[in-house]
Chains A and B, each alone.
Chain A
Amino acid sequence: SATRESLSEKLDSVFQGRKQIDAELLDELEEALIAADIGVPTTLEILDRVRRGIARQQINDLAALKEAIKRELLEILRAAERNGVASETSVPDDIRPYVMMIVGVNGVGKTTTIGKLAHRIKAEGNDVLICAADTFRAAATDQLAIWAERTGVPLIQQRQGTDPAAVLFDALKAAKARGTDVLIVDTAGRLHTKSNLMAELEKMRRVAGREVEGAPHETLLVIDAVTGQNGLEQARQFLKTAGVTGIVLTKLDGTAKGGIAVAIAKELKLPIRYAGIGEKIDDLVVFDPEQYVNDLFE
């Protein structure tokens, strides 16, 4: 059935056997973009521009149409990227510890991403410390402890139920005492609609900023590639209360295309920093807009 096709298959079948650009083709393109979770407003905007290009005879054949859509998507992702903040790969020496907070709704892959990130940043020659500030979910700390052990990175933890800001405070102190380069903070999953839990993140930010100037230097919002239109509201709220600086798009090894991240990049100018492509320690790659857009089509 049509629902089993990927965007690329879908686009290919849209283009196949066609000689010219007609209204039906554009309708099918609209469906293909919506099927990737790019969302109605962004999709309509892209198609609007494309239609104008067709009217002005700048887009005359299918190949040009394909290129035009790619270009539109890429421009959205690049514009957000230009807006991006410093990356931990080029941390100025005078920032120590460089504090990264990882936030997001429940179950998107925060803890796993931290395991992978710690591995990556350590391999780049940094001293890394992890802070287990999810003191709420059952066995959250045990899970993170296993990742810390896998990566050979120390972990600061406390009993379940401890105030997360208190664990963070400990971790900041420890990071300063040890001369840690990068401190990565795990947080409990929380829905962006829960004001008390969002306020808890604000408090953690304040604690971080008080202990280390400019901290958190980077706050990554984790978005699961299967997420639909709710992802945009997640990003809006986390940006507002947690000062998100970038996105990690996880579970891209499935069949979902993660198009909501494009909508987020467009609407909020948040760059996609990393992509999660599996459950293993190496399954995190620096997000490459060009490759992402090409993958949508190839």
Chain B
Amino acid sequence: MFESLSDKLKRTLKNLRGEGVLRPEHVDAALREIRLALLEADVNYKVAKDFIARVREKALGQEVWQELKPAEQVVKIVYDELVELLGGTSSRLVFTRQAPNVVMVVGLQGSGKTTSTGKIALWLAKNEERKPLLVSTDVYRPAAREQLKVIAKATGQAIFDLPESNDPVLLAREAVRHARDYGYDTLLIDTAGRLHIDDQLMEELVQIKTETRPVEILFVADAMTGQDAVRSAEEFHRRVGITGVILTKMDGDARGGAALSIKQVTGQPVKFVGVGEKYDALEPFYPDRIAQRILGMGDVLSLIEEV
């Protein structure tokens, strides 16, 4: 239905052949299309603006390469810059030798925290030979603790609970104790969904953090998130200091431009992507893949990769 970005760029830049260098009028015409593509992919408008300014600087005056058509050359510059901004290579969870290592999972309502908590536990048990323990501190959402219990059972992971307690901080503290006493090297703490403007609940996260001293605080973000991603991510980061991002629901057709926005405002890398509702539907994050997806142009890239 939409003309693809690569077609648009080819059209925009078709007169560029035979020129010696990339000139402002050519680059600007291409960048206008790229800006629209970024906005269509839900990259925050301000992040997109800064990004375009940076790319413009890089592109201007570059010699037109022999191997590529000018349109593809601009795309390559954009793509490389995008990969760079997304963090270059994939990042992993960082653990210390002091057990138990605590991983806190935080984010807005419905983003996929509880499911991701279960997925990470399974991932760590399967791929990193760790011995995880789960705990839910979501005392608010109906059946939230039950949900994590069902997931723990389905994935064969251990879970801690104090059914008679409704105190998130106490639950987290006792879970750490339990992990230490029973030899679990990793404690995954699921937290209730909350709005970044909910002062009281944001303070609760700070308390859980102070109490448990996590090595990782993962912000779970829905790949379908739009322009507001920068605000929630920035605020979660400001209040609790996140160390990484999990981008969920990437099995759909959302472009996932929020990943760029979040990386940009927090500086923290995306560490995993969720690609389904099943508990093994978790993958490491590869910046190049999502850069292609944001630009919506695997076609041109396969060309470029040959260069």
Asked if A and B bind, the verdict is yes
Where the two chains meet, the residues of A that have a C-beta atom closer than 8 Å to any C-beta of B are 1-4, 31, 34-37, 39-40, 105-109, 136-139, 142-143, 145-147, 191-194, 224-231, 233-234, 251, 253-257, 259-260, 279
Q: B231 touching A255 by the CB < 8 A rule?
A: yes
Q: Give the chain A neighbours of B150 by CB distance below 8 A.
A: 138-139
Q: B141 touching A36 by the CB < 8 A rule?
A: no
Q: A230 touching B231 by the CB < 8 A rule?
A: no
Q: B143 touching A3 by the CB < 8 A rule?
A: no
CA distance A258 to B39 in the complex (A): 16
Q: A228 touching B226 by the CB < 8 A rule?
A: yes
Q: A230 touching B224 by the CB < 8 A rule?
A: yes
Q: Give the chain A neighbours of B46 by CB distance below 8 A.
A: 1-3, 31
Q: A105 touching B249 by the CB < 8 A rule?
A: yes
Please list the 6 inter-chain residue pairs (A to B) with the smallest Cβ-Cβ separation, ordered nearest first.
Answer: A228-B226, A107-B110, A228-B42, A146-B142, A256-B228, A142-B143
Q: A255 touching B154 by the CB < 8 A rule?
A: no
CA distance A142 to B44 in the complex (A): 37
Q: B42 touching A229 by the CB < 8 A rule?
A: yes
Distance between A149 CB and nearest chain B CB, rounded to angstroms: 9
Q: Give the chain A neighbours of B109 by CB distance below 8 A.
A: 107, 109, 251, 279
Distance between A279 CB and nearest chain B CB, rounded to angstroms: 7
B132 lies within 8 A of chain A by Cβ? no
Contact of A37 among B143, B226, B249, B254 (CB under 8 A): B226
Contact of A226 among B108, B142, B277 (CB under 8 A): B108
Q: Interface extent on B, as a size class?
A: 35 or more
Contact of A192 among B142, B225, B252 (CB under 8 A): B252
Q: B142 touching A228 by the CB < 8 A rule?
A: no
Where the two chains meet, the residues of B that have a C-beta atom closer than 8 Å to any C-beta of A are 36, 39-42, 44-46, 108-112, 114-115, 140-144, 146-151, 154, 195-197, 222, 224-232, 234, 249, 251-255, 257-258, 265, 277
- What 5 additional pairs, Cβ within 8 angstroms, besides A224-B110, A225-B228? A31-B45, A107-B249, A108-B110, A142-B143, A193-B252
Q: Give the chain A neighbours of B112 by CB distance below 8 A.
A: 106-107
Residue in B closest to A37 when the chains form the complex, CB atoms: B226
Q: A105 touching B226 by the CB < 8 A rule?
A: no
Residue in B closest to A143 when the chains form the complex, CB atoms: B143
Q: B227 touching A36 by the CB < 8 A rule?
A: yes
Q: Give the chain A neighbours of B227 by CB distance below 8 A.
A: 34-37, 228, 256
- Kindly name the residue among B41, B110, B141 whose own CB sees the greatest number of chain A CB atoms within 10 A: B110
Q: B224 touching A231 by the CB < 8 A rule?
A: yes
Residue in A closest to B118 when the chains form the complex, CB atoms: A138
Distance between A78 CB and nearest chain B CB, rounded to angstroms: 24
Residue in B closest to A41 when the chains form the complex, CB atoms: B40
Q: B45 touching A230 by the CB < 8 A rule?
A: no
Q: Give the chain A neighbours of B230 by CB distance below 8 A.
A: 3
CA distance A224 to B234 in the complex (A): 20
CA distance A251 to B10 in the complex (A): 41
24 contacts between A and B (CB under 8 A): A1-B46, A2-B46, A35-B44, A35-B227, A37-B226, A108-B110, A109-B110, A138-B150, A138-B151, A142-B146, A145-B143, A146-B143, A192-B252, A224-B224, A225-B228, A227-B224, A228-B225, A228-B254, A228-B257, A229-B226, A229-B255, A230-B253, A251-B108, A257-B228
CA distance A34 to B261 in the complex (A): 14
Q: A106 touching B254 by the CB < 8 A rule?
A: no
